[in-house]
Structures are given as C-alpha cells and as structure tokens.
Amino acid sequence: MPNLPKPRLRRSARRGELIPPAPQAEPQTPNVEQIDSAGLRWVNIERPGAPEGAWLEENFDFHALDLEDVLSRNQRPKIDVYDDYLFIVLHFPVFDPAAGRLGTGELDLFVGPGYVVTIPNQPLQPVEYLFERCRAKQELREQLFLRGSGYLLYRLVDDSFDYCFPMLRKIGNKLDALEDEIFEGRSEEVVRDISNVKQEIINFRTVIRPQRPVLRDLEKVKQRYLATDLDLEIYFDDIVDAHERIWDMLENYKEVIEALAETNESMLSHRVNDILRVLTSISVIVLPLTLIASIWGMNVGVPGEGDQADFYVIVGAMVAMFAAMIAYFRKRGWL
C-alpha cells in the first residue's frame, strides 16, 4: 500500500514572533441632544441603541426594565409609576412611504421633576419640530421650561395628537373622492381604493385605541409626580378631549367606508342585473323568431316550399314580430 503524503500544518507565526492583537473598535458616541433652561432639562434620543442605553444608565437612575423597554421595539402603550419619575409609552400614527400606508411610531418618555427624556423609535415630526423650536428660540424655550416638566409633557403629547387631525382630514377627502367616483359609474375601478382606505382606518384605530387607559392613568398621577404651580387638570383634560375627538372621527369614518363599500357593491350588482336583463330580453325576443325559422327549415314538406314570394312574406312577418316585441318590452320598462 503506498504511503500517503502527510499534510503540512501552517503556523500563524514563526517561533519567537508575537501575534499583534486585533484592533479594537472605537467606542461609539451616543446620539443625545439636550436643551437646558430655567432648571429644566429636555433630553431627546432618537432611535436609541446600545450607546444611548449605556448613557441613560450612567446619567439617570431608571429601572433596568424600563431601559430594556426603550431598546426593544413594539412596546404596548403604558405608564409605569415610580417614586421619583414616570415612564410613559405612547403610540402615534406615522405614514410609511415605503409601504404606502399608515404605521405606528412609538414615543417613550421619562418624566420627573427637573427633566423630560423623549425617546422616539423613529422620527416623529411634532417632537422634532417642538425640539428645534425650543433650541432656536430662547423666548419659547423659557416660556415652556419655566412651567415645569408637567407642562412640557402636556405640550409634547398635545402636539402629537394634534398632528393626527391633518391625517384624518386627508382620509376624509379620500372618502369624499370615493363617493364621487362611485356615483360617476367607476365602481369597478374604486374597489382597490376602498380597500386601501379601509386598511388606513383600521390601522389608525389600532394605534389610537390603546391610548385611552394610559391617558386616564396619566390624569390620576400627573399632579403627584409633576410638581408645578399650574393646574394641570385643565391641560390634560384637553388631551383627553382631543383623543376622544380623534376616536369619534375614526368611528364616523369606519361607518362611512362601510356604507361606501356596500353602496359600491350595490352599484356593481345593479349593473350586472341590467346586463342580465338586457340579455334575457334579447333571448326572449329572438326565441319566437328562432321557432319560425326552425319550422320552415325542417326537411319535410311545408306550406310555401319552393315559392320565392312566400320566403319574403315569412321574413317580413319575423321582422314585424321583432319590432312589436321590442316596442312591448320598452313600454313595460324591460329594455
């Protein structure tokens, strides 16, 4: 048996040489934005990751479960009450251009005496807009921050809910356009549009519905943990009213889209019935003509056989019968 060659083992380095250590990645700088004024600090962290989580753990004494919720996704709306701060999770509708439909934007908030931490999991225009205005305009910053963290929380939540109304108006405009298209005879073309609008309303309702118990709980605990000279009862009642108006509009839109869908189905059924009525009328009109043609087309002796004049008499009778039946059907409204 022939000897097999022995494999050679490759050595990573020669004897006596040291293997250089792998270069270590530089620590990432956390993406944290802050505004300080009048003894109040607003910290905004967009799309948090591990560096931002470590920064929060280092600078605040938040519960570990709350920090875990911040880094995770798809948390349900809730409010956690602690001795010295509140942890709030809220959802708001966000239009996703890639999917072409409404999605859910999550906003996590830590609120306590002297600070507000906002952590959106994706860009939320009301939060970004208010933050940039406070950073650019000193007068507005002092006006908001002097009233304490409770009032700043109110402005954040109120602006975010107010941002829902333009989106609702767009849905209302779509419903009006769908109604016009249905009665213009474009029932077959708007079936997909009706489905898309219905999906938008369902997604909107899915986002808004779970906020109701959170806002009720916030009304109960806000004054205790958000100490301020203002009476926050009126302000947070305004948020609840805005939420109820949004929900009422969604309920109305739900009924409207269901009525439009039923109307569109009725229009399609009516159109099919019209087609069937016309086809049935034509079949009934042609039936006696077919009977006459069948009788004189039999391979047996019939009256007038071989007489050219009788042929024209029979054709004339068939035409007269055809015209009489059409007139009768139109008089009865069947055609």
pLDDT of residue 71: 87
Closest among 80, 30, 84 to 60, alpha carbons compared: 84
pLDDT of residue 1: 44
pLDDT of residue 150: 85
Calculate the average pLDDT of the chain. Answer: 81
Amino acid identity of residue 3, one-letter, is N
- Tens digits of per-residue pLDDT, 163-188? 999 999 999 999 999 988 888 877 77
pLDDT of residue 220: 72
| Nearest-angstrom CA–CA distance, 48 and 119 | 7
Helix or strand run (H / E) with residue 41: strand 40-44
Q: How confident is the model at residue 315 (pLDDT cuts 50, 70, 90)?
A: confident
- Tens digits of per-residue pLDDT, 50-67? 888 899 999 998 999 999
| Range with lowest mean pLDDT among 177-181, 218-222, 268-272 | 218-222
More confident residue, 226 or 183: 183
Closest among 93, 123, 90 to 107, alpha carbons compared: 90
Q: What percent of the chain has pLDDT over 70?
A: 84
pLDDT of residue 230: 60
| Nearest-angstrom CA–CA distance, 44 and 117 | 6
pLDDT of residue 163: 92
Amino acid identity of residue 86, one-letter, is L
Q: What SS3 state is found at 116?
A: strand
Q: Is the pLDDT of residue 250 over 50?
A: yes
Residues in CB range of 218: below 8 A, 6 or more apart: 79, 86, 88, 236
Q: What SS3 state is found at 103?
A: strand
* Contact yes or no for 77/214 (Cβ under 8 A): yes
What is the dihedral sign for C-alpha 216, 220, 225, 227? positive
Structure tokens at 62: 């938040």
More confident residue, 284 or 22: 284
The counts of H helices and E strands in the chain are 10, 6
pLDDT of residue 2: 47
| Range with lowest mean pLDDT among 125-134, 195-204, 239-248, 275-284 | 275-284
Q: What SS3 state is found at 139?
A: helix
pLDDT of residue 16: 45
Length of the chain (residues): 335
Amino acid identity of residue 212, one-letter, is R
What is the dihedral sign for C-alpha 112, 116, 118, 124? positive
| Range with lowest mean pLDDT among 119-123, 148-152, 298-302 | 298-302
Helix or strand run (H / E) with residue 156: helix 149-162
pLDDT of residue 228: 53
Which residue do the tokens 């779970």 mark?
Answer: 210
**CATH match for 33-269 among 3.40.109.10, 3.30.450.20, 3.30.460.20, 3.90.1170.50:** 3.30.460.20
Mean pLDDT of 217-224: 68
Mean pLDDT of 102-129: 90
Concatenate the DSSP letters of all residues of 259-316 into one string. Answer: HHHHHHHHHHHHHHHHHHHHHHHHHHHHHHHHHHHHHTTSSS--TTTT-HHHHHHHHH
Rg of the chain over CA atoms, in angstroms? Answer: 38
